[in-house]
Amino acid sequence: MQPNMSSRSDGFRQPVLTSQTVTLQQKVLRNTYLLLALTLIPTGIGALIGLNMNFGIVRANPIVSSLAILAIVYAMFFAIEKNRDSGLGVALLLALTLFLGIILGPLLQVALGLRNGGQLVAMAAGGTAIVFFTMAGIGATTKRNLSFLGSFLVIGCIVVMLAVVANIFFANPVLHLTICAVFVLLSSMIILFQVNQIVQGGETNYVSATLTLYMSIYNLFSSLLQILMALTGQRD
C-alpha cells in the first residue's frame, strides 16, 4: 500500500500519510521488534550449545568450514525471503538464528578463555545495544526518508562480503580487523536505514525487516567483540 502524494511549492512530491497507512507502518514496526526479541532466544540457546561443542574439525579446515557456513547462511536467507509471507518464513528465521548462535561458539570460546573475556563479551553486548537503540531511535523519529542510502548500503555489503571471502584465503589479521570495523559502521547504518524504511512505508514485511535487523545486530556484536579482543584482550 502506497501513501498518497501531494505537491510542494518547490515542485517535489511528498507522501501524505493516511490513518490506514500509519496503522500499517506501526503494525510492521511492532511485529518486527517482537520477532527480533524472539530471535534472541534461539540465538542464546545456540550460543550455549556452541560453547560446549568441539570445533576441532572447523579449526582444522578453516577455509572449507567458512565457505560452507557462508553457503548455508545465504541459502537460509533465500529460503526465508521466499517464504516471508508465511509462518514457514518465521520458522526458518528462528532456525537461522539458532544456527548462527551455534557458530558463535568458537568466538565465544576464545573470548571467554581470556582473563577479561567475560568483561569483553559484556562490553560488546552493551555496545551493540547502545548502537541499536540509538540508530533505531533516529531512524524512527527523523522525518526524512533515508531511502537514498539503499544503493550505498547494497554496494557496501557487496564489497565487504568480497573482502570477507578474500580474507578466508589470505587470513590477514590487519584486513580482518579492518573488515570488523567496516561491519560496525555498515551494520549501524543498516539499522538506521531499515527502521526508517519501516516508518516511511518502504518496508511492509516484518519477516524481511527482522532478518535485516537481526543480521546487523549479529554482525555488530561479533565485530565489536573481535575488535575488543584484539585491542584489550588479556591472555594468561
Looking at residue 13, its pLDDT comes to 45
Residue 138, amino acid: I
Looking at residue 16, its pLDDT comes to 52
Looking at residue 127, its pLDDT comes to 97
DSSP 1: -
Q: Where are the domains of the chain?
A: 15-232
What are the strands, taking DSSP E only, across the chain?
4-7, 13-16
Mean pLDDT score of the chain, rounded to an integer? 91
Per DSSP, the residues of 33-81 read HHHHHHHHHHHHHHHHHHHTS--HHHHHSHHHHHHHHHHHHHHHHHHHH
Confidence of residue 23 (pLDDT cuts 50, 70, 90): confident
Query: Is residue 52 over pLDDT 50?
Result: yes
Confidence of residue 214 (pLDDT cuts 50, 70, 90): very high
What confidence tens digit (pLDDT) does each residue in 65-104 have?
999 999 999 999 999 999 999 999 999 999 999 999 999 9
Share of the chain above pLDDT 70, in %: 91
Share of the chain above pLDDT 90, in %: 82
What confidence tens digit (pLDDT) does each residue in 177-206 have?
999 999 999 999 999 999 999 999 889 999
Mean of pLDDT values over 145-157: 94
What confidence tens digit (pLDDT) does each residue in 123-146 have?
999 999 999 999 999 999 999 999
Confidence of residue 17 (pLDDT cuts 50, 70, 90): low
Query: Is residue 5 over pLDDT 80?
Result: no
Integer Cα distance of 219 and 32 in angstroms: 18
Looking at residue 60, its pLDDT comes to 86
